[in-house]
Amino acid sequence: MRRKRSTILILALNALLIAAFIASVAGYSHYANLLESQAAAKRWQGESGVRFAQISCFRPVGAELSLNDIAQFRSAVESALVDASLDVEGDIRMYVDTYSSRSKLTVYGNKGSIEATAYEIGGQYFTFHPLKLVSGSYIAGDDLARDRVVLTRELAWAVFGAVDVAGMTVTIDNVPYVVAGVVDSESDAASLAAGAGGPSIYLHSDRKNTPSDAVINCYEIILADPISGFAKNTVTQSMKAGGEIVENSARYSLGSITGIIWHFGSRSMNVFGILYPYWENAARYTEDMMALMLVFAAVSAVVPLVFAGIVAVQAVRRLKVQGKRVANRIRERY
Amino acid sequence: MDTKEALRGKRRGWIKNAAIIFLAIMLVLTFFSNTIMNRSLPEVATQYVSSGTISAKIRGSGTVTANSAYEVKVKENRVIKTVAVRKGDTVEVGDVLFILEEGESTGLQELRDQLDDAKYNYRLLLLSSPYINTSSDSREIERLKEKVEEAIEERDLSYVTDAQIASAESDVTDKEIAAETAANQIEDLDEKIAELNEQLAGLSGGTVNADLSAEQKALDAAARELNSKKTELQTANLIYGRAYEKLSEIAATWEIEYHPEYSLEARMAGYARMNPGAGLDGITYSEAYEKITDAKVALEAAQIAYNDAQTAYYNRLAELGASSMESAQASSLKAQLETLEEQKKAAEKEKKNADKALEEANALLETLKTKKENYKMLDDAVKAAEDALEDKLISVQESQHSTTVEKTKFDLDVEKAKKQIDELQEKIDKYEEGEGGDTINAPVAGTVTAINISAGSTTDYDVSLMTIEENDRGYMLSFSVTNEQAQKVKIGDSADVTGYYWGSDIKATLAAITNDPAGAGQSKLLNFVVEGDVSAGDQLNLAISQKSANYELIVPNSAVRSDANGYFVLTVQTKNSPLGNRYVATRVDVQVLASDDTNTAVSGSLVSYDYVITTSSAPLTPGQLVRLVEN
């Protein structure tokens, strides 16, 4: 009777641990797919058949990039693509990029004004950060009009008292800007924890037509990656020295997450003097959570695996004994 | 056996129930599968593909400036004392822009010095002429040279600079002011003295007898008399008091059995009358009464005498007090008068000195002016002497026909020196033409847009000091656009003025497209001519519309997406199924033809009234099932 009860307890413990394992794996998967900003390479790849990697470069304070640096970098990347026999001029666009910087600006509308976080952007920012459109459209680096801006819902509400405000005008530093669209900020737990949300405005970084004014502290690129590491190496070699380079499309691989567990402690150190944008902080949050889930999964899998091993060994022994018996019977009969 | 049957029956029942529940769940799921699935699908908003026009707008803002800018320059080197206007001020013709320090242009002075040097060198050169080779020529030339030197010496004695004259004039002005100040001071002192004299005459005047001894003596005597009477009265009172006490003691019981109705006073009077010899200390009561009465009378008389003496004394004292006050005032006034007289003497002395100094300064100025006038005359004399010498030298030179290398070189040097003199003279003439007064005035009416010099700085020859935009020459406005934007517009395009509420009648026309110096080749400047109710400094927002064109397929900007394969739109394709319609996001590759703020013209496998997805609740992939937003 006692043996039967202990068997039930062991089975229940194993069932509980397996459930914990499944939950950890589910959590791991959840965090891996939580942020759209980390999956831009996959979206960009589409059905093209060319493999792409997403790389981010974060610049330290005082070593920001200028538009001239970006132009030189693009030129170097195109040379690297040509060297790798990739057709830059063909139908498939081998790279797309965006750059951004953050500041604070006071935005005036017809109902009031508010200090908002300003993202001065260039290139295809919303390809990387597909914020949900509430009204209007995004802005992009190849727009003809450089005075169009995108507002977040909170900002639109604060300065207009409405969200369907595409085509209306906001004023910044006495200069009018036309609202192109209104977006919702990311509302996932990681982004919220990283400071997303609140009144924000997205403007063209070259809206004043003065290239020397732009100060860029984040550059992102989706680049053809015919072999693993090609894109990151190309960016590392072509980018002006300094800062940190992250391969977003590989950051959630098992190896990367295991590396975080392995480098636990030093992981939290920021030795570059970089102020990460919220999406990078959110990504680091998800990485940490995935590392935690991986540890939970590994710990919860140990006991069931040992138990399964014992059961398997016992089953093999039993089979061996039964096999011998059958063999003896056959031998006795014949 | 029965137990086994019962157990089997129970198992069958459980299986049956489970099967029923399973079938029921499957049925529910089948009926609601569409709805359940729809809940899990991303929600999309769609719009029709339409046809219409695309008209891109190029917007910009800038500050209105006047069409013509006048650069204020001077042709002299002068020190700026004050800048009389500020940036943004509107000035009229003739308004003072700068006030200059007094004095002559330093550049002009330098040029004059250079000219003098050049002339001196020229003369030296002539004197070293290789043409002079006869003794008579040499003598003549020597004589002429001496004449020139004498003339120069005489002329230089009369050399007076403008600064010296200006200084003398300033000195004269200072002296005039000093003399006038001294005269004014004397006048003031005279007035004050007259006033004091008037005040003195108003006082009673004369000396006042301040002798009070008689009154004082009378007063003292009356006081002594009064005091002696007071002593007597006191003594009499003392005697009477003791007598009265004794009498009242005796009279209290006198005749009481006969006349009990008598009062104490009556008894005392009766007893004294009836016993005239009775008394105390050798004095009778009656005598005591009399003594008191006499003393009282004497005291009253002494009191009256004292009062009279006192009144006389006080009256005298009051009279004496008023007189002494007036006397003190008079003394003070006299003292003041004396001080003023002394001041007046000093002022008169000062005026005399100032007049003398003024006279001297005037004389000096006159001398300087005369010298300056003479200088011109003497300078002419020097020139005449120089000309005579030069003529002589040239005549000597012309009289000789033989040429040598040395002579040729001399000729060239002479020519060069002459040219240098001419050039310097020309420059001096130009400077003198430009030399004005002590102010720089506005030559045109307009708005000051730049001031390039500050107070204390020295002006440079023909360099801009200030920019004045002439308001009556029309207005310009320019702003920077990208090269792509600049390609979309052409000269002559008109722009709409947006967000300008103060004047509606404003017309802006694109007049020129120029390179933007600040754009590093990435941008151009659009220059507009602005007409209407504007003024320099107004901030205008302009929107210039590209020529609109008709397009067959127009989709909202938010419908156009891009990936590695280029631009595409997602259309919604409907598939019918037994459980209702299914909507599938289908990729359609397009080419972007044109776009404006809201719409994009595309070409591709689209037809009008196709639904294109403008926005979705989650990122979409082609072929994905979606659900339409419920309005």
* Mean pLDDT confidence for A124-144: 90
Please name the residues between 150 and 179 in chain A that touch chain B, using a CB distance below 8 Å.
Answer: 166-167, 169, 174-176, 178
In our burial notation (b when 16+ CB lie closer than 10 A, e otherwise), range B40-55 reads ebbebbbbebeeeebe
Q: B563 CB near a chain A CB, below 8 Å?
A: yes
Reported confidence tier of residue A56, pLDDT bands at 50, 70, 90: very high
B500, B515, B562, B596, best to mutate vs chain A, most A CBs in 10 Å: B562
Distances (CA, A) of B236 to A163, B222, B229, B249, B257: 124, 21, 10, 20, 33
pTM for the model: 0.56
Is A108 in the same domain as A215?
yes
Domain assignment present for residue A85? The answer is yes
Is A210 in the same domain as A267?
no
Rounded Cα distance between B416 and B118, Å, is 10
Domain assignment present for residue A332? The answer is no
Query: What tokens were used for B206?
Result: 């004369």
B229 has a pLDDT exceeding 70? yes
B501 has a pLDDT exceeding 60? no
Residue that terminates a domain, selected from A199, A215, A249: A249
Which of A145, A166, A176 faces B58 most closely, judged by CB atoms? Answer: A145
- Could you please report the per-residue DSSP string of B10-52? HHHHHHHHHHHHHHHHHHHHHHHHHHHHHHHSPEEEEEE-EEE
Q: How far is A214 from chain B (nearest CA, A)?
A: 13
Is A114 in the same domain as A245?
yes
B169 has a pLDDT exceeding 60? yes
Please name the residues between 88 and 147 in chain A that touch chain B, using a CB distance below 8 Å.
Answer: 91-94, 96, 124, 127, 130, 132-134, 136-138, 143-147
B207 has a pLDDT exceeding 70? no
At B304 the three-state DSSP class reads helix
User: What's the total number of domains in chain A?
Assistant: 2
Q: B598 CB near a chain A CB, below 8 Å?
A: yes
B598: chain A residues, CB-CB within 8 Å? 136-137, 166-167
Please name the residues between 290 and 329 in chain B that touch chain A, using a CB distance below 8 Å.
Answer: none
Is A93 in the same domain as A241?
yes
Which of A36, A133, A175 faces B558 most closely, judged by CB atoms? Answer: A133
A57 has a pLDDT exceeding 60? yes
At A201 the three-state DSSP class reads strand
A259 has a pLDDT exceeding 70? yes
Residue B18 makes CB contacts below 8 A (sequence gap 6+) with none
Residue B472's identity, in one-letter code, is: D
Position A32 scores a pLDDT of 94
Q: How far is A318 from chain B (nearest CA, A)?
A: 32
A136: chain B residues, CB-CB within 8 Å? 557-558, 598
A181: chain B residues, CB-CB within 8 Å? 558
A17 has a pLDDT exceeding 70? yes
Is A177 in the same domain as A322?
no
Is A279 in the same domain as A163?
no
Residue that terminates a domain, selected from A249, A267, A283: A249
Size of interface A-B (CB pairs under 8 A): 105
Reported confidence tier of residue A209, pLDDT bands at 50, 70, 90: low
Angle at B223 between CA B222 and CA B228, to 5 degrees: 95
* Mean pLDDT confidence for B217-221: 79
Reported confidence tier of residue B412, pLDDT bands at 50, 70, 90: confident
A47: chain B residues, CB-CB within 8 Å? 565, 622
Position B434 scores a pLDDT of 60
| Domain span holding position A259 | 1-32+251-327
A43: chain B residues, CB-CB within 8 Å? 563, 619
The residue behind tokens 């080779």 is: B133
Reported confidence tier of residue B322, pLDDT bands at 50, 70, 90: low
Residue B77 makes CB contacts below 8 A (sequence gap 6+) with B105, B106, B107, B108, B458, B459, B460, B461
A134: chain B residues, CB-CB within 8 Å? 615
Is A63 in the same domain as A178?
yes
Query: What tokens were used for B357?
Result: 């100094």
Domain assignment present for residue A334? The answer is no
* Mean pLDDT confidence for A59-82: 89
* Mean pLDDT confidence for B466-474: 80
Is A203 in the same domain as A88?
yes
Residue A80 makes CB contacts below 8 A (sequence gap 6+) with A234, A237, A238
Residue that terminates a domain, selected from A249, A266, A282: A249
* Mean pLDDT confidence for B271-276: 74
Mean pLDDT of chain B: 80
**How buried is residue B354: exposed, middle or buried, by Cβ count under 10 Å (0-12/13-18/19+)?**
buried
Is A322 in the same domain as A259?
yes
Nearest Cα residue to A137 out of B359, B512, B559: B559
